[in-house]
Amino acid sequence: DGSTVLLYLDEMSYFRQPEASQAWERRGKYQALARGSYRSNTKTRIAGTLDAVDGRVVYTQNTVIGCKELVELYIKVREVYQHAERIYVVQDNWPVHFHPNVLVALEEQEEKWPIYRPPDWSEEPSRFAQEKYGSLHLPIQLVPLPTYAPWTNPIEKLWRKLKQELLHLHRYADRLDELREKVKAFLDQFAYGSLDLLRYVGLLTAY
C-alpha cells in the first residue's frame, strides 16, 4: 500500500576525463578512443537511491557528497514518498552515513548494532545542523550492510550501467557541464520507476 518503502542508497564518482574501456565501432576511420582534455580532471559525485519495488531513482549530483548533501537527498526522498509512514534505506558503512549531523534530520533510529564513527567525531550534531535539520524528523530508518560488501547493494549495478552506456570513452572532456547534463538525463529516465532497471540490477526476474 506504499506505507513502507525500501530503498538502496549509494554514492559514486565520475570525472571530466573519459574512462578507458573496451569498445566497438563501425568499420572506417573513426576509432572509439578516450580523448582527454588539458583541463584538470574534475570529479563529480552522485548520491542516489533505488526503489526495490518499482525501480524509481532519486539522486543528487554535486562536487562533493557530505552530511549536507545526504540530508538534502533525504529531504528529496521524503518529498517523493510523501505518504510513506516508514522509509528503510539500505546502505554501506561509510561513516558519513551515520554522522550526527545526518542523523539529526531523521527519526530516532532503531538500529541495535554499534555503528563505527571515527574517535575524534562528536557524538552530538553541530549547533548549525541541529537548528537547520533538527525539526525534520524524517521517517527514515538506516539499514547498514555488512562491512565492504558492495555486491549486496543492487544500486551498484545502476552505476555500472551508467558507466557502460555513458561514461566509458565519453566525448565531453572539454564540455563538463554537458557531461553532467548527460548524466542527469540518464538518471532522470528512472524518475518514475523502471521494471527494466529492476531486472538489470537483479531485483526482478519474472516478466
pLDDT in tens, 152-168: 999 999 999 999 999 99
pLDDT confidence of residue 176 = 95
Over residues 124-131, the mean pLDDT reads 96
Confidence of residue 30 (pLDDT cuts 50, 70, 90): confident
CB 141 within 8 A of CB 77: no
| Mode of pairing for the β-strands spanning 4-15 and 86-91 | parallel
The C-alpha atoms of residue 70 and residue 91 are separated, in whole angstroms, by 12
Give pLDDT tens digits for 31-88: 777 778 888 999 999 999 999 999 999 999 999 999 999 999 999 999 999 999 999 9
What is the rounded CA–CA span in Å between residue 16 and residue 183? 12
Inform me whether the pLDDT recorded for 100 exceeds 90: yes
| Predicted TM-score (pTM) of this structure | 0.92
